[in-house]
Amino acid sequence: MALKKFSFNVIKKHKYARRGQIVTSHGLVDTPCFMPVGTQGTVKAIFPEDLIVSGTQIILSNTYHLLLRPGVDRISSLGGLHQFMNCKLPILTDSGGFQIMSLSKLTKIDKDIGAIFKSHIDGREFILSPEESINIQKKLNSDILMVLDECPKITNDKNIIKQSMDLSLEWALRSKNAFGSNPHKGLFGIVQGGLYKDLRLKCLEKLIEINFDGFALGGLAVGETQDQMFNTLDAVKDYMPKD
């Protein structure tokens, strides 16, 4: 199969609404889309072929959980995540950043190293640096890779949010350097900054300078109200790259 160049095209737009299409080596993804979660290499309660029948165009898998089991090297030896899952659809892998927050009792943050996890399964220790997260996602052979970021819990302490955002920006640059250049895959930056517009815009500006293939809004659905979530989306919508 000839690999296609990763790209995103806007098909039609009206005010802030738009239809787009992501081009990947494993197929096209019409946006906006519903992305089923296959955290550990399978979408629960459904066969892979039924995903296609249902109209699914892309699925999400989790770097952290796949690292723990069945193990990245095992998946890589079988030809990557698509072969392991018997899935022909495009796959997005998240970086493990959300687990830094959700498994915080088992995690230690080292600014220079990354996240030091203890497995919630058997207590083994793993180091997930920005470079290692990208290396794992490369071995999984996903179509869209996410940078490693820190997803802070909701807090009114702006200084904590700023420190976390600054760390995420450092990790984003390291992730970009580890990714290098691959025209057939997309690397997405993640905008942090909590509920503070100035921090969100600063983070977005820095990520645009680093030059990613796409951008995601992180640090949402972590305890804020629906109004706070919508206000955060409104705060950045005029500044997100249009392409």
Two tokens at 18? 């738009």
Residue 224's CB: how many other CB atoms inside 10 A?
16
| 243 located within any domain | no
Write the CATH number for 79.
3.20.20.105
| 112 located within any domain | yes
| 2 located within any domain | no
Task: HSE, CB side, 13 Å, CA atoms: give it for residue 28.
Answer: 8
| 12 located within any domain | yes
Q: What is the pLDDT along the chain (243 residues), one digit of tens a residue?
A: 578 899 999 999 999 999 999 999 999 999 999 999 998 889 999 998 999 999 999 999 999 999 999 999 999 999 999 999 999 999 999 998 877 777 778 788 998 999 998 888 898 999 999 999 999 999 999 999 999 999 988 899 999 999 999 999 999 999 999 999 999 999 999 999 999 999 999 999 999 999 999 999 999 999 999 999 999 999 999 999 988
- Burial label for 152, CB within 10 Å (0-12, 13-18, 19+), is buried
The predicted structure's pLDDT at residue 162: 98
Q: What are phi and psi of 222, to 5 degrees?
A: -120, 20
The answer to whether the beta carbons of residues 43 and 51 sit under 8 Å apart is: yes
The predicted structure's pLDDT at residue 213: 98
User: For tokens 């230690």, what's the residue?
Assistant: 108
Model pTM above 0.85: yes
The answer to whether the beta carbons of residues 62 and 40 sit under 8 Å apart is: yes
| 210 located within any domain | yes
| 84 located within any domain | yes
Q: Which domain holds residue 22?
A: 7-236
For the chain, how many structural domains are there in total? 1
